[in-house]
Amino acid sequence: MSERTLVLIKPDGVKRGLIGDVIARVERKGLKVVAMDLRTLDADTAKTHYAEHSERPFFGELVDFITSGPLVALVLEGPRAVEAFRALAGLTDPVKSAPGTIRGDHALEIAENVVHGSDSPESAAREIKIFFPDRF
Ligand code: GDP
Ligand code: MG
């Protein structure tokens, strides 16, 4: 059974030249890239994507950061793709993320943790529609 997940290489990851590193890990794992786009988000799209966090104190900061420069949006496909990519990414807090994970290897700050990955198949379906409305 194949599944899809929405991944973002966030503006910090693009700025730091980590696009290739992230995609290499994804492909090495066996997940397939089925859509990919480099773009800068507008604030409305960012707020829609992160709607679940709209009441959090860091929401403004999160929206400013995710719109601060180009990001890479990807759709990945594979068995248990949602869980598989979350395992590659590591924990939200990069300091608590094990070495060997994307965040564990590349980040120190919770706000700039290199990647986003959908947290459930339902979130993935919602997020894929935001980023690639007529592709799937
Ligand atoms: P994720 O699913 O692991 O990305 O984590 P969440 O869905 O909980 O949070 C979304 C994103 O908000 C995280 O990836 C962080 O970039 C950011 N974030 C989470 N907590 C904080 C915080 O306390 N401060 C700031 N500035 N950003 C945060
Ligand atoms: Mg999340």
> How confident is the model at residue 1, as a pLDDT?
79
Q: Is the pLDDT of residue 23 over 90?
A: yes
How far does residue 133's CA lie from ligand 2's centre (Å)? 20
Domain annotation covers residue 120: yes
**What global pTM score does this model have?**
0.98
Nearest CA to ligand 1 atom 15: 111
Helix H segments across the chain? 11-15, 19-29, 43-49, 59-66, 81-89, 102-106, 121-131
The domain tally of the chain equals 1
- Three-state DSSP at 53 gives helix
Mean pLDDT of 85-114: 98
Residues lining ligand 1, Cβ inside 6 A: 53, 58, 61-62, 92, 110-111, 113, 116, 119
Domain annotation covers residue 136: no
Closest CA to 10 of 58, 52, 49, 51: 49
CATH number of the domain encompassing residue 7: 3.30.70.141
Domain annotation covers residue 32: yes
> How confident is the model at residue 60, as a pLDDT?
98
